[in-house]
A and B are shown apart, each in its own frame.
Chain A
Amino acid sequence: MSDSSNPSANRPSEGFSTRSIHAGEDRLKPGFAMTDPIFCAATFTFANTRAVIDFVEQKQPREEYARYGNPTEKVLERKLAALDGGESAIVFGSGMAAVAAVLLAKLQAGDEVVLFDECYHRTRELSAKHLGKFGVATRQIPACDYEAMEAAITPRTRLLISESPTNPHLSVVDIERFAAIGKRHGVETLIDATLATPYNVRPLEYGVDYVLHSCTKYLGGHNDLLAGVVVGSTEKLEPIRKLRGVMGMVCGPLNEYLLLRGLKTLELRMKRHNENGQAVAEFLAGHPRIEKVYYPGLPSHRDYEVARRTMRGFGGLVTFLVRDAGDEQTSRIVDALRIPRIGPSLGGAESLVEQPCHMSYHDFTPEQRRAVGIPDNMIRLSCGLENAEDLVSDLKQALDR
């Protein structure tokens, strides 16, 4: 800890909470302040022309222009890298900006991407529709079908992508197997671990090349910022970092500070989200009005064994189907809830609830929704940090109406 020259060193010997509070930070900070300053500067000045020349000749690493990085961001990136056990991290203005940067930096015309069909629909849209215009082919295969994944790989495949757990079905990928498939075929692998967070699982430890998060969710944790991050080896991230410098999808120092602040309580919050998710899932599983609960911490979940083997906890997201209910009956339950607010997103202190057919998938036809497993009677609940008993009794009153 006293070695402030190497603050980004991954300190596996330390507890997770110790790392989340101290990793990536210099022990003595500018002005000897307890917390890192927020550098709102758009640009960074040079003492003289010699200093400029030293910088451009890369003799002197330093800041230049905030699109290429700023000191607040560097602390954040070191901390995020340390938490995921990676060498480097790059922060973006949103999770989708991070996805876009990886795809754009790593793919070119003629390349192929293979992704599980339960990936976030905007990720699939970006890959299939937008990158399709530039000659990148996207192959979607059923989530967790590893044989189909292997069969979909061709000599042109450059990237295998999955989320784990997936949203909203909470399928859990056998990350070790997923990474091994990539290695066997010489294809890079990416896991979007937004729903897990590095507290619950660290995909890089299983040999995945890139781990990605929408930091808007659990990492920020307070529903008050947008950010994304990709973590991996410095060498593999370099082209992505260069692309961010060109395209400029930066996060901004104020958001970066809030994210840094959120990370300090990540372990505590995740323990609570895990407990609340488990309690709510168990309550719902035993309720007569519930047809099905998707939660990896329930033995009834298809991926329960994989989840138990690879995850420390299962997060705060719980998806469920209301028995014998149509769209309107389901909406009535959503509207009757008093604590969770209706809205997209997840992972914050405040619980949020949504009916995917009206929210994330409103622009799909009923047939399309059925094809992707989003029935009208599905509710997705992001359990926040409230008292578990309060959440359960709220669900109870809404279901018992």
Chain B
Amino acid sequence: MHFRTRAIHVGNEPDRATGAVVPPIHVASTFVQPAAGEWGEFDYSRSGNPTRKALERTLADLESGWGALAFASGMAATHCVTMLLRPGDHILAGADIYGGTYRLLHKITAPAGIEVSLAPSSDPRAFERAFRPTTRLVWIESPGNPLLSITDIAACAELAHQHGALLGVDNTLATPVLTRPLELGADIVMHSATKYLGGHSDLLGGALVVKDPELWKRLYFIQNATGAVLGPWDAFLCSRGLKSLEIRVREQCRTAARLAAFLAADRRVARVLYPGLKDHPGHDLAARQMDGLFGAMVSFEVAGDLEAARRLVQSTRLIHLAVSLGAVESLIEQPALMSHASYDRADRLAHGIADGLVRLSVGLEHPEDLEADLDQALARAVG
């Protein structure tokens, strides 16, 4: 069956007891057991919950994985992966990654005795040089955030495996609609389900999907032992969001492409970073790796300074000024002051995140309304 059909039906089988077309939301924290020492399928909701499991089954199917684990947030999911490592191990991460991941790796993982380094994953040769004999985990995003650099996932998987490391891919921005990293050789897919998977700005969630049952068991052990699980209400909302995932993402990508072209042709904009534009360095790769679409995030630099960019993001009338992305509502933000504020400034500039960079998450509004809003905000920002 096609992706969209599976997104609606896998993990969403009618309730056997009542026939309910949508499975019940199991809010129970604990489950009655058949006998002392004899365990049913579910015992305690940290270890497993039917509503969470339904979501995990859908996600595993959509990402072509063996199993999934749902977490309370994307960061909780990423943290779970880092807990596979031991002191002395090395994590090699892409340079264009979410600020929260940067913070986790440098402020939580590194002090625990794990080596952390960043290198541009979109440049395979430079990336390969950054491997160490102790590299056990490679962590990439494609498209990257916020520069929307494109990384060759299959090539990274090959590199990681040559060096005896696992490849983890934060697939939040591409979504399984456009890219399924496990099919390209990755070992772990991670999602901030808060973004496109949930899609409605109304839940926090994270997920890991893997294709190796043994790896799933190791991650499950960590999740159960540390407890950052997704609650049943949010799992329900996320499952509900998945039913419209494909149509949302495709529509949002189409609108983003149009807005990127609009911005690229505008003199008030210095530079547009959108993989769908022919001059984007990752354009050809994205065209192969993203099912013909290029995502719904558009980053650009205003022809002006930090203040001009600040005026721009504060002048939109329809687009909201907020971090996060991937929802039906369009959002705009300035990475230097918001999503990537947890980078050291020097490191941030070194990674190409200029003060005047603006990141736009394109929602489901009518494209003409969004274009008109950007137009008037640019007029206020740059004049």
Contact = CB atoms under 8 A, between A and B. Distances in A.
Given A265-B244, A268-B247, A386 B5 contact: yes
A286 interface: no
A333 interface: no
Nearest to B237: A261
Given A222-B22, A341-B14, A349-B8, A35 B366 contact: no
Interface hub of B8, B12, B14, B322 (most chain A Cβ within 10 A): B8
Contact of B4 (A222, A341, A385): A385
B21 A343 contact: yes
Given A15-B365, A21-B363, A265-B364, A387 B4 contact: yes
Interface string A1-33: 110000000000011111001100001000000
B128 interface: no
B328 A264 contact: yes
Given A22-B318, A22-B365, A343-B19, A34 B201 contact: yes
B320 to A, nearest CB: 7
Contacts of A27: 320
A145 interface: no
B202 A349 contact: no
A18 B9 contact: no
B55 interface: no
A389 B2 contact: yes
A15 B366 contact: yes
A269 B366 CA distance: 15
Contact of A21 (B237, B243, B328, B368): B328
Interface string B184-223: 0000000000000000111000000000000000000000
A352 interface: yes
A114 B363 CA distance: 45
B368 A15 contact: yes
B13 to A, nearest CB: 9
Contacts of A21: 328-329, 363-365
B268 interface: no
A335 interface: no
A22 B237 CA distance: 20
Contacts of A2: 317
Interface in B1-25: 1-5, 8-9, 12, 14, 19, 21-22
B158 interface: no
B364 A387 contact: no
Interface in B307-340: 317-318, 320, 322, 324, 327-329
- Determine chain A's interface SS by DSSP, over half rule: loop
B240 A224 contact: yes
Contacts of B329: 21-22, 34
A322 B315 CA distance: 59
A165 interface: no
Given A15-B365, A15-B369, A341 B21 contact: yes
A392 B181 CA distance: 30
Contact of A18 (B3, B201, B365): B365
A385 B244 contact: yes
B266 interface: no
B305 interface: no
Interface string B236-260: 0100100110011001000000000
Given A34-B322, A222-B22, A269 B201 contact: no
A397 B109 CA distance: 54
A258 B9 CA distance: 20
Contacts of B373: 1
A223 B20 CA distance: 9
B344 to A, nearest CB: 28
Interface in B225-282: 237, 240, 243-244, 247-248, 251
A339 B12 CA distance: 12
A335 to B, nearest CB: 15
A158 interface: no
Contact of B5 (A14, A17, A387): A387
A1 B320 CA distance: 11
B364 A264 contact: yes
Nearest to A342: B19
A339 B328 CA distance: 28
A390 interface: yes
A384 interface: yes
10 contacts: A1-B373, A14-B366, A15-B368, A34-B202, A264-B200, A343-B19, A348-B21, A386-B1, A387-B2, A390-B5
Nearest first, the 6 closest Cβ-Cβ pairs linking A and B are A15-B366, A387-B2, A349-B243, A386-B5, A34-B201, A18-B365
Interface of B: 1-5, 8-9, 12, 14, 19, 21-22, 200-202, 237, 240, 243-244, 247-248, 251, 317-318, 320, 322, 324, 327-329, 363-369, 373
Given A14-B366, A17-B365, A352-B21, 7 more contacts: A15-B365, A15-B369, A35-B201, A224-B22, A224-B240, A269-B247, A349-B243
